[in-house]
A and B are shown apart, each in its own frame.
Chain A
Amino acid sequence: MDNQRCGSFEYSTPLVYLGLKLISKLFHKKYQIAVTLVIGGVLLALWKPFVLIEGLQVAGLYAAIALPMALILGIVGIINLAHGDFMMLGAYLAYRFTVYTGADPLVAIFPVSLGLFLIGMATYRGTIKYMHGAPELIQLLLTFGIAIILQQLANLLWTSHPVSIHVGYASASATIGSFTFGTYGFVYVAAAILVFIGLFLFLRRTRIGQAALATGQNPIGAKLVGINIDRIYLLIFSISIALVGAMSVLFLTRHSIFPHVGGIFTLKSFCLAAMAGLGNLTGILWASLILGLAESFVKSFMGYAGWADIIFFLLIIVVIMVGSYRRRVT
């Protein structure tokens, strides 16, 4: 861990402010965020490289989990408060699979994804299907109930004692100069990019994907042109849960799991989806970068590690407030 104590905190704040002002003057709005991130990234690399690495990796994890939620939000139009808990379920299934077969945990990606695809289907057919016309309140409460069921089921079946798996390659590391860092975490970045590209191609280039996009934008219109929107909803929901399942396996390889581990990911995914704006998949990548780096950054100040959790809660609130303020003023 980086033990650098940052005494220059007080000086850096006005500098950061001036820097941001400069960027907003020099660059067109679209590029401001990107430029800020790039410059910020470079500065971080020089000052606290560990923060940059860890931030990137954790950003990848967040993005890979948030993208499927954005998919459900954008196309099926439902807020899935049980999102992170499906991930928890997948992680437990992967764990049991690994323990039972003795195979390398990554092998579990296939059965777990399939399993979660089916579970997603069952969940949709059994409950979510009926929620389309219902008031938002009811949707929230329903998925909240599902989340609780998943958590408690896990508690019942596997107790609340955390479990984990140790794989040798998870501690792989590389060294640049005098700086050593873990490399396995980049798996998450790779996963995020893969999921993103996969979804992008699926939605733009395949017929089903395009039908899904159409359904998301205008369900009635889609129905009129003959798209079976019920089938689309079922498919998209199940795919999303399956993706979450795949990610859960990766998650298992590096984290210990317990029944409530998923809740925070639901919140973070929602935060990212809100930041990015509805239907904006690219935005999620940027947003997770910001979130991941911010969290990592705060964690690096020794005394403040406990506060790192708040970062993202505050971020959620700020994002939602800013978004609603913009909507109010128009």
Chain B
Amino acid sequence: MKNWRYIIYTFITAIAILFPFYTGTYLQHTASTILIYLSLALSWDMLLRAGQISFGIAGFFGIGGYAAALTHLRWGIDPFLSIILGGLAAFFIAFLLGLVVLHLRGLYFAIVTLAIAEIFRVIVRNLHSLTGGPEGSVLPSAIFNGDPSKVYWLVLTLAIITIIVSEVFQRTRIHFATTTIRNDELVAKSSGINIFKYLVFIFAITSALQGMIGASYTHQYAFVTPEETFHIHFTLLPIAMCLLGGMYTTIGPVVGALVLGTIADYLKLQLPYGHLLVYGIVIVVVILFVPKGIVGTIKEQLERRK
């Protein structure tokens, strides 16, 4: 019974890998962008499963981006290595911050993550000598010299890594821990779950993923600036996608990213100025009418039919 699922996944992965062979550069570029947001959306969901909303995706995205850019620029570190360094930088900073702020819950934690992301941006903007200040820094060249299919494969790899991490979280005891923590901390504690430890761990890992994604983005466009690299975009879109697709699953954010990403790309052409409006509307509409997201609602309907 389970086998047909794996066959489908393998099939889809194969299509995804072979994608650049039968599509043009524009589609590859679009797909790369969608994959970036897909990974961010998924990483956001992973923390959400433990009951915590983060408004700080852009913060760790930017940390990874800047870490990768600066190590590459100043110490000539290989782009791939710098991507990993970006992830590590985000990991450690998130870990240390997490130790401090993960006693908070709900609204307070969300606001603090937003504040943290903003603080990162301001710090980066002010450290002129290190980061290039408000004008940012430009990298000597884009990774792969901008070859869109190679960029696509890089981003696809990171997306697959994120999906794997998400599935690991779903199939191991971590799933039990997060579901319990999210639903009832008292029961979690009484069952022996060290809530703080799990939250810090998940926070650090998801931030590391966001850092790596930010690093790959930086190398793709070959520049960093405080405004662009820490843009609220990178927090907003993933959240909208995750809500649309369905929270608390791996496939939800993936579906949400694919759907919203495609629509958004189309809209960008139609409405150059306000296309982000759609994300806001999506969030509001989904919360009011389809709170379980596309995937969640489908699952619910299937349960009902049984």
Contact = CB atoms under 8 A, between A and B. Distances in A.
Q: Do chains A and B touch in the complex (CB under 8 A)?
A: yes
Interface residues of B, number: 42
B243 A141 contact: yes
Interface stretch (A112-120, A185-193, A233-241, A305-313): A305-313
Nearest to A160: B273
B277 A153 contact: yes
A324 B287 contact: no
B273 A313 contact: no
Contacts of B111: 267, 270, 274, 316, 320
Contacts of A153: 274, 277
A79 B215 CA distance: 34
B275 to A, nearest CB: 8
Contact of A321 (B101, B240, B284, B291): B101
A152 interface: yes
Given A146-B280, A156-B273, A270-B111, A141 B53 contact: yes
Contact of A127 (B114, B274, B277, B284): B284
B142 interface: no
A158 to B, nearest CB: 10
A317 B283 contact: no
B17 interface: no
A316 B280 CA distance: 25
A147 B280 contact: yes
Contact of A156 (B110, B243, B271): B271
B125 interface: yes
A158 B82 CA distance: 41
A148 B280 contact: yes
A310 B280 contact: no
B168 interface: no
B279 interface: yes
The majority secondary structure among interface residues of chain B is: helix
A310 B117 CA distance: 11
Chain A interface: which size bin?
A: 35 or more
A316 B53 contact: no
Contacts of A144: 55, 239, 283
The majority secondary structure among interface residues of chain A is: helix
A142 B116 contact: no
Contacts of A324: 103-104, 108
B107 A152 contact: no
Interface stretch (A28-36, A91-99, A130-138, A245-253): A130-138
B118 interface: yes
A317 B115 contact: yes
Most chain B C-beta atoms within 10 Å of own C-beta, residue among A138, A306, A309, A313: A313
B138 interface: no
B117 to A, nearest CB: 9
B280 A152 contact: yes
A142 B288 contact: yes
Nearest to A137: B53
B236 interface: yes
Given A145-B283, A267-B115, A310 B123 contact: yes
Contacts of A323: 108
B284 A142 contact: yes
A267 B108 CA distance: 11
14 contacts: A79-B107, A137-B106, A141-B283, A144-B283, A145-B280, A148-B236, A148-B283, A274-B108, A306-B126, A314-B115, A317-B101, A317-B112, A317-B116, A321-B100
Given A309-B118, A321-B100, 7 more contacts: A140-B107, A145-B287, A148-B277, A267-B115, A274-B111, A321-B104, A328-B103
Interface of A: 79, 127, 130, 136-138, 140-142, 144-153, 155-157, 159-160, 267, 270, 274, 306-307, 309-310, 313-314, 316-317, 320-321, 323-325, 328
